[in-house]
């Protein structure tokens, strides 16, 4: 990596750099990456005597959550999200088409209201951080949810509320366990 080495040496020689980190010297010899197996060790492993036949590992069936165990649905939430986000008339024609597309037996609407604890909801930037954290922790449910959340009201009585479209007729396990 000749070019990278030359670039690094030029950077390490800058007065601004040496003022903060001091003199930095490159390695005298190239180090081996830890992820590349040593061929001598590999040969020894191959030559090791074979132990008694081991029992095949039993397959552990992963328990499905309440969303994965639901019957299939014709409504594809990813295609819907793409359609809705790109539609020019989100409040009119997009909603009308959405209602036609939706599998009303396989999906449900939910109103979410964040229950404040202690002094929460007094400062806008702190309340926005609460909402952002909640949405980040709920990201793993995006394959079967569609939501719009907002911070409403004025300081010092801010509220976090939203409407969610969820797969099934109950809150998904992933969302309920994470945020209960």
What value does the mean pLDDT take over residues 66-86?
Answer: 82
Tokens of 172: 């998904």
**Which tokens is 60 given?**
């552990």
CA dist 176 and 180 (Å) reads 5
Q: Is 73 buried (19+), middle (13-18) or exposed (0-12) by CB count in 10 A?
A: middle
- What percent of the chain is modeled with pLDDT above 90? 6
What b-and-e string marks burial along 135-174, b requiring 16 or more CB atoms within 10 Å of the CB? eeebeebeebbbbebebeeeeeebebebebbbbbeebbbb
Give CA–CA dist 101/129, Å, rounded.
Answer: 34
pLDDT exceeds 70 at position 167: yes
DSSP state of 140: G
Domains by residue range for the chain, with CATH:
2-39 (no CATH), 77-179 (3.30.70.1010)
Q: Which spans in 71-153 are helix H? A: 77-86, 93-101, 124-137
What is the three-class DSSP state of 97? helix
Sign of CA dihedral 74, 166, 64, 66: negative
pTM of the complete model = 0.57
Q: How does pLDDT run across 3-49, given as a tens digit for each residue?
A: 888 888 888 888 888 888 888 877 777 766 665 555 555 555 555 55
């Amino acid at each position: 990596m000749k070019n990278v080495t030359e670039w690094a040496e030029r950077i390490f020689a800058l007065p601004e750099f040496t003022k903060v980190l001091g003199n930095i010297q490159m390695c005298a010899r190239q180090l081996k990456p830890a992820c590349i197996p040593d061929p001598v060790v590999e040969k020894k492993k191959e030559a090791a005597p074979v132990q008694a036949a081991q029992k095949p590992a039993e397959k552990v069936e992963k328990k499905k959550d309440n969303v994965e165990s639901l019957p299939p649905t014709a409504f594809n939430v990813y295609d819907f999200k793409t359609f809705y986000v790109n539609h020019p008339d989100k409040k009119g024609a997009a909603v009308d088409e959405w209602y036609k597309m939706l599998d009303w037996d396989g999906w449900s609407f939910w109103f979410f209201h964040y229950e404040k604890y202690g002094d929460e909801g007094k400062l806008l930037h702190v309340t926005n951080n609460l909402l952002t954290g909640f949405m980040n922790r709920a990201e793993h449910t995006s394959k079967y949810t569609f939501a719009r959340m907002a911070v409403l009201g004025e300081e010092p009585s801010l509220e976090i509320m939203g409407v969610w479209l969820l797969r099934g007729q109950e809150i998904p396990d992933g969302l309920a366990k994470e945020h209960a």
